Amino acid sequence: MTVGTLAPNEKDLYKIVNIVRQLAEGRNNAPEMSGDATQNAAGVVTIAGDAVTNAKLANMTQASAKGRAVGAGTGDPVDLSPAQLFEIVAAGSTKPTVRKFTSSTIYTPSSAAVTWCLCMVKAGGGSGGGSSAAPPVGGGGGEGGVAWKVVPVAAISGQSITVGAGGASIPAGTSSEGSTGGTSSIGAVVTATGGIGGTRGQFGGAGGLGGTVGAADWGMPGCCGACARIAMATSASTPMVAATAPAT
């Protein structure tokens, strides 16, 4: 017998002796392992639950996540890109329901499953100013404000929806200030005011101010109305006056 080396029959004898000794000691012939894994007599290794930490996983590129891309089918996890993650989220989402109100009413949720709502209100624009001049040269009306707010549906359920109308038009040939547009709102939760009417003027009225943002998370004030424009030219004979103004 050579030290460190066993003939084939001696190796078999060693295995038998080792198995007998383990059985006598109440152990099977599986090698001892750490507490993170176990091995049975058939050599099957089982990893304990929650034993594999992130540090033991393969490195990942930044801005990625483990998963399976849409359409990839069942298989091993892979590193997904942000675009692939977006596809997964979109595939499991439903399109939002958009409801548009063009007249005043009471808000009633379309479904009990709806819990949050993005509200947007747009106020009416002001009308242009009138003038007795020919042609009329009143200033243009201001644009209505716009307001947005994210709210729980319960906060607006049963609230009055007010749709602000545009400012009333001024009859032709009438020297009068333009009318202010109506405020649009959902109760007092989200509001936006209407644009101010343009000023009257025989020689060019000023444009009305834009509407403002009231109760809202964010919004955009309306643009001011355009001022009437006067163009003058002279000739050797009679002076000529021409005036233009934006439509109401």
Q: Write down the pLDDT at residue 157.
A: 92
Q: b/e string for 52-63 if b means 16 or more Cβ within 10 A?
A: eeeeeeeeeeee
Is the sign of the CA dihedral 147, 148, 151, 157 positive or negative?
Answer: positive
Instruction: Specify the DSSP class assigned to residue 198.
Output: P
Query: How long, in residues, is the chain?
Result: 248
The tens digit of pLDDT for each residue in 144-172 reads 999 999 999 999 999 999 999 998 888 77
Placement of tokens 């009055």 in the chain: 160
Annotated domain spans of the chain: 1-30, 116-248
Q: Write down the pLDDT at residue 160.
A: 95
Q: Write down the pLDDT at residue 53.
A: 86
- Gap between the Cα atoms of 148 and 125, Å rounded: 18
In terms of Cα–Cα distance, which of 70, 82, 76, 118 is closest to 97?
118
Q: Six-digit token pair at 243?
A: 């005036």
Identity of residue 231: A
Is the sign of the CA dihedral 166, 167, 171, 177 positive or negative?
Answer: negative
Q: Which residues of the chain have pLDDT under 50?
A: 1-3, 230-248
CA 123 vs CA 143, 181, 206, 221: distances in Å: 8, 7, 21, 10
Q: Write down the pLDDT at residue 94.
A: 72
- Gap between the Cα atoms of 104 and 88, Å rounded: 39
Q: Write down the pLDDT at residue 50.
A: 85
116-122 β-sheet, strand order:
116-122, 146-152, 218-220
Q: Write down the pLDDT at residue 81.
A: 92
- Gap between the Cα atoms of 65 and 132, Å rounded: 70
Q: Write down the pLDDT at residue 242.
A: 33
Q: Write down the pLDDT at residue 200.
A: 77
Q: Write down the pLDDT at residue 55.
A: 87
The residues, ordered by sequence, that sit 6+ positions from 68 with a Cβ below 8 Å of its Cβ are 74, 75, 77, 78, 80
The tens digit of pLDDT for each residue in 101-118 reads 999 999 998 877 778 888
Backbone dihedral region for residue 36 (phi beyond 0: left; psi -120 to 50: alpha; all else: beta): alpha
Cβ(220)–Cβ(152) below 8 Å: no
The residues, ordered by sequence, that sit 6+ positions from 12 with a Cβ below 8 Å of its Cβ are none
* Run of H or E residues at 234: none
- Gap between the Cα atoms of 144 and 123, Å rounded: 5
Q: Six-digit token pair at 139?
A: 């200033």
